[in-house]
Structure 1
Amino acid sequence: MLTPAFLDELRARTTLSSVIAPHVKLTRAGREWKACCPFHNEKTPSFTVNDEKHFYHCFGCGAHGDAIRFLTENRGLPFMDAVKELAQAASLEVPAADPRSQERAKRQATLHDVMADAAAWFTEQFEGLDGAEARAYCQKRGIGAGAVKRFGIGFAPDRRNGLRKALERHGDDKLVECGLLIRVEDEPKKEPYDRFRGRLMIPIRDQRGRVIGFGGRILGTGEPKYLNSPETVLFDKGSSLYHIDRASPASRQARRLIVVEGYMDVIGLDRAGIAEVVAPNGTALTERQLELLWRMDPSPILCFDGDKAGAKAAIRAATRALPLLGPERTLSFVTLPEGQDPDDLVNAGGRDAVEALLGRPEPLVDRLWRHEVEASPLTTPEQRAGLKQRLVDHAAAIADRSLSQLYREEWMDRFYALNRRDRGTAPAPTPGRPSSPGQRRGAWVRGKGFVPPEPPPGAEARAIGASGIDPFTARALAAGLAVHPDLILEEAELLAALPFADPAAEALKQRLLSAALHAPALDSRALAPILADERTAKLLEEMQRGSGVVFSFNRSETDPAKGRADLKAVIELLAEKREISAALGHARQRAIEGDEHAPADMLRLERAITEANRRLADFSIIE
C-alpha cells in the first residue's frame, strides 16, 4: 500500500517541468513555466507549471494536478504505472504489497530490459546490410525515416540463431519467457531458435512506452503474413492495444480516438498526420480492450477495412460492446470504400480523404440497425419477426436498463416506420398465398380511420387475431391511455390493430382514437371534455375497477415520464407478440402442407412469444 509519506517524497523528488516538457513546449515565465494547455486547444498560453509547489494549472479549462495526475490524464497511464515511472526516475523503490508481488515486479523489470535490447537489435539490423529488403518495403509503403524512428521499426534477419546469439548474455530462459525464442518441448536436447526470422519487426509498447511484444510482418511470400509475440508475463494480447503509448496523449489533444485493424493501418494514418490511432494485436476487440478505449475516449471511432472481414469485425465489436454500454460509453463506426484499408485511403486522397469520413461517423445504434436490416430479405412474416427479435435481443443485451429501453424504443420506432414505408409500395398478394406483413397489419389513415387488415392465414392464427388482448390487459391499457393521451396518436396504428377482448375497453379505445384523429394535439386539457362525457366517464370507471393485475404505468407513485415510456413499451410489445403469433399460425399452416423448414420456424417463433411474455411481465405487478 502506498502511504501519503511515500507519495509526498515522490512529488518532492520529481521536477514537474521535466515530466511535462517532453509533451508540451514550455517557456520560462519568472519562477514558473507557461505553455498552451495540453488538455484543450488554445492559441494564447494559459497553462502554468510551478516546480516549487509541484503543481500545474490551466486558467482556461481549469486542469490542475501534480506529476502523477499529468501522467494519468495526459498519457492515460494507470495510477500505479505513473507512480512506478516517476519512482524509477527519482531512484525511489515503490513499496510492494507482499514479497510475492515484489518478486514478480523484479522479474518483469528484468524482462523489460530483455525486450528493450531485442528492439534495439532489430533496429540495428534494419539499418544494416541485412535490412535492405526491409528498407525497400518501407519505402514502397511510403513509410519514411521519421515514421521508422517513431514506431521503432526493425528487422529480424532470416537466421535461426541471430537474436539468440546477440542477446546470449540474458540466457535462453529469459528469451524464451519473453517469447523471442522457441523451445521444442518434446525434444529437450534441441537448442531453442529465434521465433522471428525474415520479418519486418514492429514493437508493441505498453502505456509507459516499454516494449512488451512484437508484431512481425513477412516481407516475401509465406504464411502467416503477421506473426505476433505469444502470451507472456509482459504481453497479454487481449489486454493491450498497439500504439497506446502515443495515441493516449494524442487523443486528448484531438478529442477523438480511432481504432483500426492492424499495425500498418496505424502507421498509414500516422503518415497523414493522425496519431490518435490504436489497433488490437491481431485479435478481435475484447472487453478489456474496450475498457482501455473508453478510458481515453467515450466514443471511439472504429475504422475497419472496407471488405466483408472488416464489416464482420465491426459488428463483432458492436455486439461485444453492448453489455458494457453506458451514458458515456459507446462506439461509432466509419465504413471505408469497398476493398480499401486506411493506408489505401491515405494514398488516394491524403488526410482530407480520411477526415471526410471521420467527420461523420455512424453511431452504434445506426450501425447495428443497418446490419440487421441488410442481413436478409424482409418479405415474409417470419423474416420480419426475425428482424424484430434480433433487434430486441440486442437491446436486451445492454446491462444499463435505462439505455437498453432507449435502444429498444429507437429500434422499434424504426421497425414500424419501415413497415409503414413498405406497406405503401407492397404489391398485391398472390391469390392463395399469404399477403405481405404490411397488408396484414392494416393501416391508420387520417380522415378514414383504421383500414382493417386481411385475416391472418390458418385457423389457429385467425383465432389468435380474433381473441384480441385479454380483458385485464385491455382495461389497463385503456386506463393508461387516458393518463397519457399524447401517446394515442403516436401509437394510433398499433392501437387500432390491437383488438381489445373487453368490450368496454375497446369502446374507450375507439373514442380516444377518434378524438386523437380529429384533434391537432391531444393532451390532458384537450382530453378533459371527452373524459367528462357521461358515456366516456362510465367506460373509464369500468377500466379502473380492480383486476388483480396492475401495470407500472397505472400506479400513482410511478414517475410520469417512466409511466409514459412503460406504456409505450407495453403497446409495442403487444403488437410484436401479435405479429409473431400471426407468423406462428402461418408456419403451422406450412407444416401441415409439408414444408420441411416450418418446424424450425415454429420453434423459433414459440420461443419469441415466450420471451415477449417474459418482458411483458416485467411491467406488471400482481396485487
Structure 2
Amino acid sequence: MRFDDRFLEELKSRLRPSDVVGKTVKLRRQGREYAGLSPFTKEKSPSFFVNDDKGFYHCFSSGKHGDIISFLQETERLTFSEAVERLAAEAGMSLPEPDARAAQDDRKRAGLGDWMELAAAWFEAELRRPVGKDARAYLDRRALPEDQWSRFRIGFAPNGRMALKDYLVAKGAKPGDLVEAGLLIAPEDGGAPYDRFRDRIIFPITDTRGKVVSFGGRAMDPNARAKYLNGPETSLFHKSRVLYGLYDARKILHAAQAAAPNEQTPMLVVEGYMDVVACQRAGLAAVAAMGTALTEEQMEALWRLHPEPTLCFDGDKAGQRAASRAIDRALPLLKPGRSFRFSIVSGGKDPDDVLREQGPAALKAQVTQTTPFVEALFVRERDLEPLDTPERKAGLKQRLRAAAGTIADKDLAAAYKDDLYARLDLLFPKPAYGGGQGGGQGGDRPYTPRGGGGGGGWKGRERGPPDPGIRGVAREQIGRRLNPFHAAVAIAAVDHPAWARPYDEALERIGFGEARLKRLAHEIFEALIDDIGEDTPFRDILVRKGWGEELAELDRLALTLKPPFLDPKMDRERARALWAACYEAIVEVGDAQRALLAMREEAVTAASLTATRDLRDRIAILERQISNLEFWQPAH
C-alpha cells in the first residue's frame, strides 16, 4: 500500500516520539529532550536522545537517526508498511483506500498468494507420502530430522508433469494464474502448461511477512541439468529483493534482542538453502541470496536488520568469487555504522556440514570468527598478483586508492584510504634507522630531537641523537609532526577511556604531551567527568563529533610501533599496566618541563642550577627509555 506525504505527516503529528520510543527505551527528560540507554548498542551512560519538537531520535553510540516509523523498523524488524500500519492503529487513523487499479492489483496478488500457500501445503504432504520415500532418505542423510521439516515447510515435488497442476485446478485455479505465479511453465509452442518443479525437494521462499512468494527446488537426480532451481520473476517474487529465510531470521534477531538488549546478535548471509536451515537450527539468524550475487536492494534489506551482517561463503573458488563480487557491490554503499564482515568456514566445509558433523556449538564458534570488510578488501587486492617488483607494488597502492575512492561517504572513504595505506606500510616496512649501522646510510637521516636542530624527537630534550643501537621511535619520527608514541598512548585512551580515569587531572594539565592532542585529551577528560562506562563506544561518539580523520591518523601512527597494549590478545590488566607506565612517563616529562619553565622566572642560585640539571637529566633518561620502548618490556 502506498502512503502519501500528507498521511504520513498527519500520522507523525498525532504521536509523540517519546511516547512511541518510551515503550521500548526507559527515557528521562533532559531539558527539551529525553535521554536513555541506546537500544542498538551496549552502554552504561545514555547516548540516545529523543526530541518531540523536532520529531526524531538520535543515537550517538550507533549513529542511528530517524523518526517513529524508522524506530519501529529498527527495533522490531518491521517493514515500512508494517510500521505505518502499527502506528496508524495506535493513532486511531484509518489507512487510506488504494486507488481502483492498485486495489485490483492487490486482489490479483492476494489470489496468486493463496495458490502459492496451497501449493506449499501440497508439497509438504507429498514429502510424507510413498512418492517422497527417496526425498526423505536424502534428508535423513543430511541429518535433518522429521520434526524440522514442518518448521521450514520443506516438501517434495514428484516426478510428474501435471501432478501439482491437476491438484490446484481441481481446487478452482486457472492454469494462466498458475503460470503467472511461476508454478507452471507455458510452452512457447502454445501447448498445455505443465509443472515447473518435478522430482525436487522443495524449499518455500517467503516475503518479509512470512507469505510464500516462490519456491526453490533441489534436484534428486544427480544428472539433472540444474541442481537448484528457483521460481521465475513474478508479481509476487522479485529475486533481486528477496532473501531466503529472512522472515525467520528476523524473528531470531528480535528474540535475541529481547533477551539481551545490549548485545549484538550476528546476522549471517550464507550460500544455500540447507546452510540457512543449519544456521537457524543452531539459533543463528541466517539468509541466502538463492545462488545469485547480493544485490543493492538485498544489502539495504540486510542493513535494516543489522548494521554489520556477516557474509559467510565457502572457501572454494566459487565462494571467493562471490565474496569479491559482494565487496565490489557493497563498497559504494558503505557508511558509518553500515558495513559487512566476512567469515570462511574452515576445512572446505559449509555450515550444514559443520552442524551435521560437529554440532551447533562448533558452527557458532566458526561463523563468529570474522574478518572486517577493510581487511577482506586489502587481502583481495594484495593477493591479486605477486608483489615482487616496484611496478606491482605501485599497482597495489593504486588499486587500494581506487577502491577507497568508490565509497560515496567522503569521511568513510578517507578513513578507508588511511587504513589501507597503513596496512600497506606494514606489508612493506621502511628500512631500519640508519640502515642498522647508526650513520643514516641508505638515505635515512639520523634522529635529531626538538631543541637540537632537527624536526622530530621530544620537546625539551637537550642532548644529542640516541646511540646507534636504539630501536623504534627514531626511524618512524622522521618527517612527522606527531610522535607515534604519543599517538599510541592517546588512541589507547580513546578505545579504553576507563584506563585514563586515575589520571583525569593529568589529562587536563598535561594532556598527551603534544599540543595537537590537547583537545582530544580534553574530550576524554569531559567523558570521564560524565562517568563514561568501559563498554561505551567512545570512539564512535568522537567520530560523530568530527574526529574521524584525526583518529585515523593516530591509528596509522600507532600501527608503526605495534604497541602491545593495543593488541586485543594481550591480558587486559597487563595491557592497562603497560599503558599506565607509558602515560606516567609522558606526565612526568611534562611536569618536569613545566618546572624548568618556572625556574627561569626565579633568581638563579646554586640550588636552582642543581635542580635544573637534575630535571634535565631526568627528562633525558625518560625520553631515552621512551625512544627505546623500554616501558613495553615485561619488567615494566
Shorter-chain TM-score bucket reads: 0.5 to 0.7
Partner of 1:394: 403
Residue deviations 1:343-368 (CA, integer Å, cap 9, x gap): 11112321222222233311001111
- The alpha carbon displacement at 1:518 in A equals 11
Map 1:486-501 to 2 at 5 A.
none
Cα distance change on mapping 1:314 and 1:201 into 2, 3 Å: same
Separation (CA, whole Å) in 2 of partners of 1:383 and 1:78:
47
Partner of 1:79: 80
- The alpha carbon displacement at 1:84 in A equals 6.3
Separation (CA, whole Å) in 1 of partners of 2:364 and 2:272:
19
SS at match of 2:237: coil
Q: Which amino acid aligns with 1:176?
A: V
Q: Which amino acid aligns with 2:215?
A: F
- The alpha carbon displacement at 1:375 in A equals 2.1
- The alpha carbon displacement at 1:83 in A equals 5.7
Residue 270 of structure 1 is aligned with which of 280, 286, 292? 280
Residue 181 of structure 1 is aligned with which of 167, 171, 184? 184
Residue 261 of structure 1 is aligned with which of 226, 249, 271? 271
Map 1:209-220 to 2 at 5 A.
209-220=210-221
- The alpha carbon displacement at 1:135 in A equals 1.2
Map 1:232-247 to 2 at 5 A.
232-247=234-249
Separation (CA, whole Å) in 2 of partners of 1:374 and 1:408:
18
Answer yes or no: is the 8 Å Cα contact 1:486–1:521 preserved in 2. Answer: no
Q: Which amino acid aligns with 2:180?
A: E
Residue deviations 1:123-172 (CA, integer Å, cap 9, x gap): 11112121111111111111112221011011111000111111111101
Residue deviations 1:411-462 (CA, integer Å, cap 9, x gap): 11111221117x68xxxxxxxxxxxxxxxxx977695336239xxxxxxxxx
SS at match of 1:333: strand
Answer yes or no: is the 8 Å Cα contact 2:346–2:366 preserved in 1. Answer: no
SS at match of 1:240: coil
Separation (CA, whole Å) in 1 of partners of 2:391 and 2:552:
27
Is 1:194 matched with 2:195? yes
Q: Which amino acid aligns with 1:223?
A: R
Q: Which amino acid aligns with 2:293?
A: A
Cα distance change on mapping 1:349 and 1:486 into 2, 3 Å: farther
Partner of 2:442: 451
Is 1:406 matched with 2:415? yes
Separation (CA, whole Å) in 2 of partners of 1:321 and 1:284:
11
Separation (CA, whole Å) in 2 of partners of 1:97 and 1:396:
44
Separation (CA, whole Å) in 2 of partners of 1:78 and 1:486:
57
Separation (CA, whole Å) in 2 of partners of 1:109 and 1:518:
67
Separation (CA, whole Å) in 2 of partners of 1:325 and 1:69:
19
Partner of 1:114: 115
Answer yes or no: is the 8 Å Cα contact 2:415–2:552 preserved in 1. Answer: no
Is 1:365 matched with 2:374? yes
- The alpha carbon displacement at 1:100 in A equals 2.3
Answer yes or no: is the 8 Å Cα contact 1:85–1:208 preserved in 2. Answer: no
Answer yes or no: is the 8 Å Cα contact 1:252–1:296 preserved in 2. Answer: no
Residue deviations 1:537-591 (CA, integer Å, cap 9, x gap): xxxxxxxxxxxxxxxxxxxxxx99869989999xxxxxxxxxxxxxxxxxxxxxx
Separation (CA, whole Å) in 2 of partners of 1:524 and 1:332:
33
Separation (CA, whole Å) in 2 of partners of 1:75 and 1:124:
33
Separation (CA, whole Å) in 1 of partners of 2:322 and 2:484:
49
Q: Tell me the TM-score normalised to structure 1 length.
A: 0.59
Answer yes or no: is the 8 Å Cα contact 2:284–2:364 preserved in 1. Answer: no
- The alpha carbon displacement at 1:395 in A equals 0.5
Answer yes or no: is the 8 Å Cα contact 2:207–2:242 preserved in 1. Answer: yes
SS at match of 1:214: strand
Q: Tell me the TM-score normalised to structure 2 length.
A: 0.58
Answer yes or no: is the 8 Å Cα contact 1:258–1:276 preserved in 2. Answer: yes
Answer yes or no: is the 8 Å Cα contact 1:131–1:157 preserved in 2. Answer: yes
Answer yes or no: is the 8 Å Cα contact 1:304–1:314 preserved in 2. Answer: yes
Is 1:124 matched with 2:115? no
Answer yes or no: is the 8 Å Cα contact 1:307–1:338 preserved in 2. Answer: no
Answer yes or no: is the 8 Å Cα contact 2:126–2:157 preserved in 1. Answer: yes
Separation (CA, whole Å) in 2 of partners of 1:234 and 1:450:
71
Answer yes or no: is the 8 Å Cα contact 1:156–1:199 preserved in 2. Answer: yes
Q: Which amino acid aligns with 2:101?
A: R
- The alpha carbon displacement at 1:70 in A equals 9.9
Residue deviations 1:207-259 (CA, integer Å, cap 9, x gap): 10000010000012212000100010010111011011110121234422111
Cα distance change on mapping 1:564 and 1:278 into 2, 3 Å: closer
SS at match of 1:238: coil
Residue 227 of structure 1 is aligned with which of 215, 229, 238? 229
Which blocks of at least 5 consecutive residues in structure 2 are unaligned? 16-22, 24-38, 43-67, 257-264, 445-452, 460-474, 488-510, 517-545, 557-636
- The alpha carbon displacement at 1:99 in A equals 2.4
Q: Which amino acid aligns with 2:276?
A: V
Partner of 2:166: 165
Separation (CA, whole Å) in 2 of partners of 1:297 and 1:386:
35
Separation (CA, whole Å) in 1 of partners of 2:480 and 2:375:
35
Map 1:134-149 to 2 at 5 A.
134-149=135-150
- The alpha carbon displacement at 1:329 in A equals 0.4
More displaced, 96-105 or 281-290? 96-105
Residue deviations 1:363-397 (CA, integer Å, cap 9, x gap): 00111112222222111112111211111111011
Cα distance change on mapping 1:120 and 1:527 into 2, 3 Å: closer
SS at match of 1:236: coil
Cα distance change on mapping 1:443 and 1:371 into 2, 3 Å: farther
Partner of 1:99: 100
- The alpha carbon displacement at 1:485 in A equals 7.1
Residue 386 of structure 2 is aligned with which of 344, 365, 377? 377
Q: Which amino acid aligns with 2:319?
A: G
Is 1:153 matched with 2:154? yes
- The alpha carbon displacement at 1:268 in A equals 1.9
Cα distance change on mapping 1:71 and 1:161 into 2, 3 Å: farther
SS at match of 1:399: coil
Answer yes or no: is the 8 Å Cα contact 1:307–1:340 preserved in 2. Answer: no
Cα distance change on mapping 1:7 and 1:515 into 2, 3 Å: closer
- The alpha carbon displacement at 1:73 in A equals 5.0
Residue deviations 1:54-77 (CA, integer Å, cap 9, x gap): xxxxxxxxxxxxx99997456523
Cα distance change on mapping 1:294 and 1:524 into 2, 3 Å: closer
Residue deviations 1:277-334 (CA, integer Å, cap 9, x gap): 1111221111110001101100001111121111221121122111010111000011
Is 1:248 matched with 2:250? yes
Separation (CA, whole Å) in 2 of partners of 1:519 and 1:326:
28
Separation (CA, whole Å) in 2 of partners of 1:147 and 1:394:
44
SS at match of 1:451: helix
Residue 415 of structure 1 is aligned with which of 424, 437, 446? 424
Partner of 2:337: 328
Q: Which amino acid aligns with 1:451?
A: G
Higher RCO, 1 or 2 (CA under 8 Å, sep at least 6)? 2
Q: Which amino acid aligns with 1:227?
A: L
Answer yes or no: is the 8 Å Cα contact 2:332–2:408 preserved in 1. Answer: yes
Answer yes or no: is the 8 Å Cα contact 2:414–2:549 preserved in 1. Answer: no
Separation (CA, whole Å) in 2 of partners of 1:235 and 1:199:
20
Answer yes or no: is the 8 Å Cα contact 1:198–1:218 preserved in 2. Answer: yes
Cα distance change on mapping 1:381 and 1:170 into 2, 3 Å: same
Aligned length: 414
Partner of 1:305: 314
SS at match of 2:428: helix
SS at match of 2:348: coil
